[in-house]
Chain A
Amino acid sequence: MRFRWALAVLAKAIIEAVAAVVALVCLALVFCLGMVFLFPPMVRTVRRLTGWTRRLARVHAGMEIATPYLPEPPPPVQLADGWYRSSRTLYRTPRIPAWNDRWKWMIGDPATWRDLLWLVWDPFVTVVLAPALLVAPRIGLRAYAYWCRLLLAPTAAMRLAGQVDHLHRVRSLAMDTQAAEMRRIERDLHDGTQARLVALGMTLGAVEELVDRNPEAAKALLAKARDTSSDTLTELRRLVRGIHPPILAERGLGDAVRALAMDSPLKVDVEVELPQRPQAPVEAAVYFAVSELLANAARHGNAEHVGIDISHNEDDLRVTVVDDGVGGADPSRGSGLVGIERRLSAFDGVLAVSSPPGGPTTATMSVPTVLSGPWPWAKLPKMPRWKLAVVIVAWTTAWLPMFPQGIVPGIMKIFGNEDKVWFLALHLPEPWQWPTIIAMTVLGTGLYTLGFALPAAYSETSRSSC
């Protein structure tokens, strides 16, 4: 089987050789004769080739090569007067602005040029690897995948740019969600609690008026005031539950979800397997997500039985909610599911919903690296002062015995140079010279070793300070 794919790589090399020649001709036509319309189809063809190669590397050599391309530009937006704008020119149709955007997107992407470089070299590399591909296809494919990764994988800079982009988007989403929450809390406090407290104050004022003249009426009003205070408490309790459920703070995610399950009118089975509590914000996000899913199952899904499974694999917190309802839940339509996605995205978490018509509905949430284990170096003790001093002394002095008093005079002695300059060893009587040189070199090596080895056992903070 592998052998067949090794042959496929060789066949691909022939196609690539042709493609490379065509691409170079195209480039020449584009940049020398201005036939710019040739550029996008050429880039698309090359990208298709690299796409095949990435898939081949993934499936048959087990090497994941990520796609490095910048995201495609959005379609041009029609202005209020019906025209389309591309830099300083207005167009009647979106075709030319779209083409301009695409041109800029392709030509400005460093991955386009790395792809071309790869295309030109790949046939040669394949020829070099041909014996390995034919004799040991496994090793050959692996080596070929390594070569491809060199040029086809995103560089550190591209990856960083992608990450910055992602973080930017997630941050604004998180800010929006938080602002909406704050508005909701403000509204609840303003319309509910505050209004009730005002009413309470007014009732008490009336009691003050009445207490001497009509004690009976005052008593009745006091009873009313007590009811109002009790209602206010009930409302505050509901509000607190919406902000951060007390049981979540008291017991953690597992018991909080169990409590949710008990309060649900559905039959809910909960399985929890967590070695430690996730960070509080993650707990809250997951809790509200489960709460929303349970409510959905009861409201829209017509479900009777729900299974909730909370577990962790490696560093991911994984929550699965399965119900036996009618299905047909669509994340793009249900605003509740969108809300869950937003909440989770702040922690790089994802929600996957499978809900075929007729059920069952399975929602899986996964939030990465949330189990708040201490960083490995956080457990290390801080370095004591005196050791820090030793390290500093070692680093500042090690060069002296190592180079000018050890290695350099050694080399000069080997080559018979008689200049003594300030090399201590060369001023000594002959039988002492070599032992001194060796001792100096050993001393220098020892000091460098000390400088490296001492801080290794201590925590990062003190290490960076030295």
Chain B
Amino acid sequence: MLNRVLIAEDLYLLRDGLVHLLQAHGFNVVGAVETGPELLKALVELRPDVSVVDVRLPPTFTDEGLQAALAARAKVPGLPILVLSQHVEQLYARELLADGSGAIGYLLKDRVFNADQFVDAVRRVAGGGTAMDPEVIAKLLASNARHEPVAGLTPREREVLEVMAEGRSNAAIAQRLFLSESAVAKHTASIFAKLDLAQSDDDNRRVLAVLAYLNSR
């Protein structure tokens, strides 16, 4: 069971809330840190199964959390980290995805409101998958909307692509869009053909391929 979790958040209320939320869902909180340097040290020393990290941390309140996450993943490739932020940027998503090793998440802080979905995202990241905020995906698709071949997708295929890029499995996509799993499989095959990407059964590989494709634009 992958349940050793580290939390990095400078606001006491939110940090405390996250600790309680994750403990209530069966996680074992091995640490809760406040600053960037502490975070980097804890990430490398504790090697938690998953970490929930705020982008903006003391001492400079810029992007310490993100930098610490990137530095830790450079030292420990594939270290699962879920980054939380008050705002989402394609630039940050691109930096997080750049190493292509998965086990990464990037969500708006608002998503914590929906406990089930948030815990699901944490579990996905812990399991080596991805969890991208729908807003990031929407931005990625919007900025590619006018370019071939994204422009050549049918509306239904775009919907499937959006949910898939968040890091969902075929089953989850089917449930969300009220489709049968075989229909989803058909759509994904068509999407991969149109985007000229290698087909893969592995959910994570598949998502990374899509994100890499969108990011490379």
Contact = CB atoms under 8 A, between A and B. Distances in A.
Interface in A230-262: 230, 233-234, 237, 240-241, 246-247, 249-251, 255, 258-259, 262
Among A226, A262, A265, chain B packs the most CB atoms within 10 A around the CB of: A262
A229 interface: yes
A262 B86 contact: no
Contact of A246 (B86, B90, B94, B109): B86
Given A247-B91, A250-B55, A226 B62 contact: no
A233 B110 contact: yes
Contacts of B109: 233
B146 A230 contact: no
A258 B147 CA distance: 19
B62 A250 contact: yes
B168 interface: no
Among A246, A250, A255, A258, chain B packs the most CB atoms within 10 A around the CB of: A250
A259 B91 CA distance: 6
A237 B110 CA distance: 11
A265 B56 contact: no
Interface in B86-127: 86-87, 89-91, 94, 109-110, 113-114
B91 A262 contact: yes
Say whether chain B's binding surface is mostly helix, strand, loop, or mixed.
loop
A264 B147 CA distance: 12
A263 interface: yes
A250 B63 contact: yes
B174 interface: no
Nearest to A238: B87
Contacts of A265: 142-143, 145-146
Given A226-B113, A229-B113, A262 B87 contact: no
B113 A263 contact: no
Interface string B119-159: 00000000000000000000100110111000000000000
Contact of B87 (A229, A230, A241, A264): A241
A241 B86 CA distance: 11
Interface in A259-288: 259, 262-265, 267
Nearest to A236: B86
B55 to A, nearest CB: 7
Nearest to B215: A262
Contacts of A240: 86-87
Contacts of A247: 87, 89, 91
Given A251-B63, A265-B146, A237 B91 contact: no
A contact residues, range: 20 to 34
Given A258-B91, A262-B143, A251 B62 contact: yes
Contacts of A264: 143
Contacts of A249: 62
B87 A246 contact: yes
B143 to A, nearest CB: 6
Contacts of B91: 247, 251, 255, 258-259, 262
B197 to A, nearest CB: 21
A247 B94 CA distance: 14
Interface residues of B, number: 20
A250 B143 CA distance: 22
Interface in B146-184: 146-147
A249 B113 CA distance: 26
A52 B204 CA distance: 75
Contact of A230 (B56, B110, B143, B145): B110
A230 B55 contact: no
Contacts of A237: 86-87
Given A249-B62, A250-B63, A251-B63, A262 B90 contact: yes
Among B55, B90, B114, chain A packs the most CB atoms within 10 A around the CB of: B90
Given A247-B91, A255-B91, A263 B63 contact: no
A263 B110 CA distance: 21
B62 A259 contact: no
Contacts of B62: 249-251
A263 B87 contact: no
A381 B109 CA distance: 46
B137 to A, nearest CB: 13
Interface string A28-41: 00000000000000
A284 to B, nearest CB: 15
Contacts of A255: 91
Interface of A: 226, 229-230, 233-234, 237, 240-241, 246-247, 249-251, 255, 258-259, 262-265, 267
18 contacts: A226-B113, A226-B114, A229-B113, A230-B113, A233-B109, A237-B87, A240-B86, A240-B87, A246-B87, A259-B89, A259-B91, A262-B89, A263-B90, A263-B143, A264-B143, A265-B142, A265-B143, A265-B146
Interface of B: 55-56, 62-63, 86-87, 89-91, 94, 109-110, 113-114, 139, 142-143, 145-147
Given A247-B91, A262-B90, A263-B139, 12 more contacts: A230-B110, A230-B113, A233-B109, A234-B110, A240-B86, A241-B87, A250-B55, A250-B56, A251-B63, A262-B139, A262-B143, A263-B143
Listed from nearest, the 6 A-B pairs whose CB atoms lie closest are: A262-B90, A250-B62, A250-B63, A259-B91, A246-B87, A259-B89
